[in-house]
Homo-oligomer: A and B are copies of this chain.
Amino acid sequence: MRYHKIPDETVRRLPIYLRGLMFSAEKGSEHISSQSLATFVGVRSHQIRKDFSYFGDFGTPGVGYNIGKLAREIQRILRLDVVKRAALIGVGDLGSALLAYPGFGMYGLDIVAAFDSNPTKVGAKVNGIGIEDVSGIDSLRSRGIFLAIVAVPRQVAQETVDRLVGAGVKGILNFAPCRVEAPKRVKVITLDIAMELARLPYYMPAS
């Protein structure tokens, strides 16, 4: 089944596997079975094997998967094998936390520029990154930055996205709590932090 489109749900799980493989590599063993990986990442072993079957034979029956080889293959599929430079728009509380967030590097993502509309912030440095005025967004194309993280207030989210699209950005992670429109060629993922929390009470027993 090597020549098959990878289902979206599988793509959603690939970073989970990658994270699990990296942390389990710390333990020194070279191979891991779908069973052990299953308990480690919280996905059924059937599911894991099915997911991996979409892109080739990586496991050895009786042994398991070679951790390093599999991790590299997942990185290649997700196109994380070359470091991706990203820009952050909006250096408020959340934006500052994102600049300091250590987790992006493990996925080959690097925030190399930050923009804010507040003149009192422009020029300052946060975590080694100098804050530029939002007008500088237009220079992203020439700087070879095609990935952006939007952490601005909801009211200006759409205009920010429009500007990013105009600057040639191809992928946007949007933290503003609203839908934003973009041409089909630009992939937008919206992540509303509060919304995730809003689902919890539904699943909690009567409180």
Contacts of A103 in B (CB 8 A): 177, 192-194
A12 touches B189 (CB 8 A): no
Residue of A98, A146, A171 with most chain B CB atoms under a 10 A cut-off: A171
Known: A146-B204, A189-B200. 6 other contacts (CB 8 A): A40-B179, A78-B201, A94-B101, A97-B97, A170-B204, A171-B201
Q: Which residues of B contact A187 (CB under 8 A)?
A: 200, 203-204
Which residue of the partner chain, among B86, B146, B179, contacts A42 with CB atoms under 8 Å?
Answer: B179
Contact A79 B177 (CB under 8 A): no
The answer to whether A200 touches B179, judged by C-beta atoms less than 8 angstroms apart, is: no
User: A124 on the interface (CB 8 Å rule)?
Assistant: no
Candidates B147, B191, B201, B205; contact of A196 at CB < 8 Å: B191
How far is B204's CA from A109's CA once the two chains are assembled, in angstroms?
14
A67 within 8 A of partner (CB)? no
Give how many copies assemble into the complex: 2
Q: Which of A13-21, A28-36, A50-58, A132-140 contacts B (4 or more CB under 8 A)?
A: A13-21
A100 on the B face (CB < 8 A) = yes
- A18 close to B198 (CB less than 8 A): yes
Chain B residue at minimal CB-CB distance from A187: B203
Given contacts A77-B202, A79-B201, contact A189 B179 (CB under 8 A): no
Q: What are some 10 contacts across the A-B interface (CB < 8 A)?
A: A19-B192, A78-B198, A84-B207, A86-B197, A93-B100, A94-B97, A94-B101, A107-B198, A170-B205, A171-B203
Does B11 lie within 8 Å of A199, measured CB to CB? yes
Q: Does A185 interact with chain B (Cβ within 8 Å)? A: yes
Q: A80 and B171 in contact (CB under 8 A), knowing A101-B93, A193-B98, A195-B19?
A: no
A93, B195: Cα distance in complex, Å: 20
A194 to B84, CA, bound (A): 13
Please, how many angstroms separate the alpha-carbon atoms of A171 and B203 in the complex? Answer: 8
Q: Which of B97, B171, B192 contacts A96 (CB 8 A)?
A: B97
